[in-house]
Structure 1
Amino acid sequence: MSETRVDSVDYELTRENYEDGVRWISDPEQKEEITQTILTDLPDWFGVPESTKHYIEESKKMPFFSYYKNGRHVGFIVLKETSKYTAEVFVMGVLKEYHRHRIGHKLFERFIQYAYNKGYEYVQVKTVDEGHYEEYDRTRLFYERIGFRKLECFPTLWDEWNPCLIMIQSVKAAMALQNTIPMNDNSSSENQSIELITQRLRLVCHTLEDMSILKDSIWKYEDKLGLRHNAETDSGDEMANDFYYAYLYHQEHYPNEDLLWLRTWNFILSDENIRIGGACFKGEPNEEGMVEVGYGIDEQYQNKGYATEGIKALVDWAKKQKNVLYVMTEIEKDNIASIKVAEKIGMVKYKETDENYYFKK
């Protein structure tokens, strides 16, 4: 490690705290109990007794974080130093019933914060290479979603039935993913990833690939992002379908247009890891520097303040983009809930017709 930073999080992690969330575990016996309980619940991943015993014994000696929820430890992650520059995710697990609740993401966020504060430059993880076991393919996709990339596969490091894939990422890059939102990146690349974080929501801007998947299958899109399904039956998303083909048309016929404004957004409820609504802009800024936004929240999640929280973040983001002076929205006069949302986030009514009000900020 080239430098050691003041570990400002250590005190917070070691304080006695009975609220749900990530905890620092220092007691070896407690580490053993947590590891034993959770790995036993995951036989598809930890079904070899000798290997499981090794994880349990070695984890007692290493930095250890658990996730505490509903009165018990439901997940954990362990850090192993492999060199003075590199930390490894030695072992990680989450109880099956808590899969797709973003607990793995939250554990890894704290893992990265710890690695950064200790001065590590890289993190790595070992898993089984793709195409051998379905459960390990899901694990590899999870690691890719949190920023890991393939480094090299060692076909016989473990054995011929379990080729070892090593994945790595930069600690600084991982910290940037956690703490830096590209608020002023005006690139309209269809692969540019944008995510806004609020107190309760994640606002995810779809890439062109996302819209291509979503227009045909909501479930496949949710699986790609590791989300829980929000519908009992699968179908395509009509808004994603419309914007996907509009994007392709404008890409071909209007090459100088900023296509960022033709990408749709999802509102994801962080605690439940589920889609609850969405939004879209209706083209790039006009000559007056104005963009129009539309949005909607699923009925069962309405009247909880999610629309206000999400649209405020989206409007604030839009106003920091190039050539944007105002954000406006068109609301039917009998849509009282949407009118209240507009007013709460500081929009003012500037025009009306027989049927609609027009608000801007």
Structure 2
Amino acid sequence: MTASLTVVRTLGRSDVAHDILAELPEWFGLEKYTSEYVEAADSYANYVAASADKVLAGFRPPSVGEPELKLPDALGILLLRQRFPTSAEVHLLAVRRAHHRAGIGRALLGQVEADLRARGVRLLSVKTLGPSRPDPDGYDQTRAFYEACGFLPVEEFPDLWPNDPCLLMVKVL
């Protein structure tokens, strides 16, 4: 991970979600799903990663006042959905292509996990495409990333998503 990386929690950064997802059509290329992720950024907790030397130094939630974060400065985003006091779900984790394998996804997850532990949350889950689907788009790498971060595969649901198997993965915090 880059030592000069900052991860901040905020809300409503649908602009960041849209901009990063547009760079990753092989994972987020269907407009229907991309739109759903962008809309989710308005209601779920957003964790944004950027270089520490960028404007993020004074980053505050929108209720206090948005900083001048320029879209190219945002390197990754994680949307967190919490349905119950003891569990939460990674709804979206996306990192700009040029910064893949640079520790940004791990940094985002690390900050989320620290925040959740501090609030007494005990379980973090993520859903991704299941291994029974042919893998021309690199989802083997996605699953390997989550496994390397401590997530365990729980069950593959063949019919949860239209035409795609869903793999539920969880991590005890």
The two structures share one fold, judged by TM-score above 0.5: yes
Q: Distance in 1 between matches of 2:9 and 2:98?
A: 22
Q: Which residue of 2 aligns with 1:250?
A: none
1:20 and 1:169 mapped to 2: Cα distance?
Answer: 24
- The CA distance in 1 between the partners of 2:43 and 2:162, in whole Å, is 26
Map residues 76-155 of structure 1 onto 2, 5 A cutoff: 76-130=77-131, 131-134=133-136, 135-155=138-158
Structure 1 position 78, deviation (Å): 1.2
Q: Do structure 1's residue 64 and structure 2's residue 49 form an aligned pair?
A: no
Secondary structure of the residue that 1:82 maps to in structure 2? strand
Q: Structure 2: where are the runs of 5+ without partners?
A: 55-72
Inter-partner Cα distance in structure 1 for 2:10 and 2:83: 21
Code of the residue aligned with 2:24 in structure 1: it is: L
Paired AA for residue 123 in structure 1: L
- What is the identity, as a one-letter code, of the residue corresponding to 1:32? S
Larger gyration radius, structure 1 or structure 2: 1
List per-residue Cα deviations over 1:153-180 (Å, max 9, x = no partner).
Answer: 10011023x1000000101xxxxxxxxx
Residue 171 of structure 2 aligns with an amino acid whose one-letter code is: Q
The answer for the alignment partner of 1:255 in structure 2 is none
Alpha-carbon distance between aligned partners in 1 of 2:99 and 2:92, rounded to the nearest angstrom: 17
Cα distance in 2, alignment partners of residues 96 and 116 from structure 1: 29
Aligned-partner Cα distance in 1 for 2:106–2:90: 13
Query: Partners in 2 of 1:158 and 1:33 — Cα distance?
Result: 26
1:291-350 CA-to-partner distances (Å, cap 9, x unmatched) read xxxxxxxxxxxxxxxxxxxxxxxxxxxxxxxxxxxxxxxxxxxxxxxxxxxxxxxxxxxx
TM-score (norm 1): 0.40
Q: Which amino acid aligns with 2:20?
A: I
Partner of 2:75: 74
Q: C-alpha separation between the residues in 2 aligned to 1:163 and 1:45?
A: 15
- 2:109 alignment partner, SS class: helix
What residue number does 2:166 align with? 164
- Aligned partners of 2:105, 2:14: CA distance in 1, in Å? 19
Match of 1:203 in 2: none
Q: Which of structures 1 and 2 has the larger relative contact order (alpha carbons within 8 angstroms, sep 6+)?
A: 2
Distance 1:76 1:141 in 2: 19
Aligned residue pair count: 149
Same amino acid, percent of matched pairs: 30
Deviation at 1:63, TM superposition (A): 1.3
Partner of 1:22: 7
Distance of 2:139 and 2:97 partners within structure 1 = 14
Spell out structure 1 runs of 4+ moving beyond 4 A: none
Which ranges of structure 1 fall in alignment gaps of 5 or more residues? 1-18, 172-361
Question: 1:82 Cα deviation (Å)?
Answer: 2.8
Which structure 2 residues correspond to residues 256-267 of structure 1 after superposition, within 5 A? Answer: none
Is 1:46 aligned to residue 48 of structure 2? no
RMSD: 1.4
Matches of 2:121 and 2:88, distance apart in 1: 7
